[in-house]
Amino acid sequence: MRRTPSRRLFAAALLVASVLAPTATVPATAVPASVPAGSGHHGGEECRDGGLGPELTARLDKAVEDVRVQAGIPGIVAGVWMPGKGCYVHATGVADKVTGRPMTTYGSVRIGSETKTFTVTALLKLVDEGRIGLDDPISRYVDGVPNGDNITLRHLAEMRSGLFPYTSDPGFIQDLESHPTRQFAPHEVLAYGYRHNNTFAPGAQFEYCNSNLVLLGLVIEKVTGRRLADVIDSRVLRPAGLRETLFPHAAEFPEPHPRGYTDQTPDGSVADSTDWNPSWAWAAGAMISDLHDLRHWAKVVATGELLSPETQAERLRTLPTGFPGTSYGLGIFETNGWIGHNGSIPGYETVTVYLPAQKATMVLMLNTDIQSAGEEPSTLVARAVTGVVTPNNVYDRPVRPPLSDPTL
């Protein structure tokens, strides 16, 4: 059965499953165009502290390349940083299947549901300022939400609202697949979900639902009186020092970037989705970033550098998801010790996670979201990499919503 966009706005990878920012700069480590596809290269700019040694590096190269070939992934960028041990940054495969342009460790990708970590961070900063409360009902800020008097901001952030996911609505799927360059508004996408009854009482269980994050984006706009993209830029990206991360208004995409490939099309054929409009994902999955920024963000979000200790503790109070080994907090997951999020949007998948026990960071960027043997390609790569570098903390099977629901 072909996957639908509802299943993947962002790779259900709970692992284990608008203002345009400046164009990304190209570091001096760019790989010459003559490098053959699949040969790969190691990014010295992002691995200044030295590698993990020739033996471990060779094992990682093989693990990543084996998954890439077996899963049919066009290109992969993999980065691992382990203080006191070294680092590994590697690109393999192609960024463009037509020209054969090689994948490189610089450039931007669409990060899908990793956007949720930025949206929830902006929300939690408002909590720290006393401008909102996590247990406020959504009806206080947004009208028309089914059962809105009983659904709290906390329920929305921890995926326990019971709202029907708009990305599971057949009408939405048809409209998006038929017109992937279309501009969607937040209230417009929410309306698709409101056609359906809520699926359970607030707080009763976990269900990944992008409607939740769109509503939180509207709360941020209501309270601040500013566009969500501007709030995230000024209150999250700039304080965190993220210069190449942005929240696009429509289909903007800074150069350079790899082409993205998806099978989320009306007939299930593979298409180049690079320039599709991610506005339908908005606060749940529209953002763009690069390897450097994601590496930094992994630690910031996992350790709460932008939040008070009390609010970060609330964020990390994870609850069971129904998937062994994986729990979910406020816009963040924990699986086998790794804390962070993954993302999937037509054409791209990412994983950005931090392992507090070893102060280790892993970032993965892929230019496809086409599943292999029923699994997200980013999960396969993450499992292979952590199986080599952190065998006691292997990134496990991500949380996967039902086929009728999209993505984590």
Which of 19-33, 51-65, 184-198 has the weakest average pLDDT? 19-33
Residue with tokens 């069971």: 320
Residue with tokens 């054409």: 347
Question: 402, 206 in Cβ contact below 8 A?
Answer: no
pLDDT at 237 over 90: yes
∠ CA 254-260-261, nearest 5°, is 165
Which of 213-222, 342-351, 393-402 has the weakest average pLDDT? 393-402
d(CA 40, CA 21): 28
pLDDT tier at 404, thresholds 50, 70, 90? very low
132-148: pLDDT as tens digits? 999 999 999 999 999 99
pLDDT at 151 over 60: yes
d(CA 272, CA 367): 10
Instruction: Return the pLDDT at 398.
Output: 52
pLDDT tier at 44, thresholds 50, 70, 90? low
pLDDT tier at 181, thresholds 50, 70, 90? very high
pLDDT at 250 over 60: yes
pLDDT tier at 34, thresholds 50, 70, 90? very low
Instruction: Return the pLDDT at 183.
Output: 98
Residue with tokens 């409101």: 194
Residue with tokens 């109070």: 317
pLDDT at 37 over 70: no
d(CA 171, CA 383): 35
- List CB contacts of 130: < 8 A, sequence separation 6 or more: none
267-319: pLDDT as tens digits? 999 999 999 999 999 999 999 999 999 999 999 999 999 999 999 999 999 99
Supply the pTM of this predicted model: 0.90
| Average pLDDT of every residue of the chain | 89
pLDDT at 18 over 80: no
Instruction: Return the pLDDT at 10.
Output: 36
Instruction: Return the pLDDT at 323.
Output: 85
Q: What is the mean pLDDT of residues 231-251?
A: 98
Residue 325 vs residues 157, 208, 303, 396, 402: alpha-carbon distances, Å: 20, 16, 20, 8, 18
Q: What is the mean pLDDT of residues 380-405?
A: 77
Helix (H, G, I), strand (E, B) or coil at 109: strand
Instruction: Return the pLDDT at 46.
Output: 72
Phi, psi of 287 (to 5 degrees): -80, 170
Residue with tokens 């009390």: 310
Helix (H, G, I), strand (E, B) or coil at 173: helix
pLDDT at 24 over 50: no
pLDDT at 25 over 90: no
Q: Which fold has domain 5-389?
A: Beta-lactamase (3.40.710)
Question: 406, 213 in Cβ contact below 8 A?
Answer: no
Instruction: Return the pLDDT at 35.
Output: 34
Where along the chain do its domains lie? 5-389
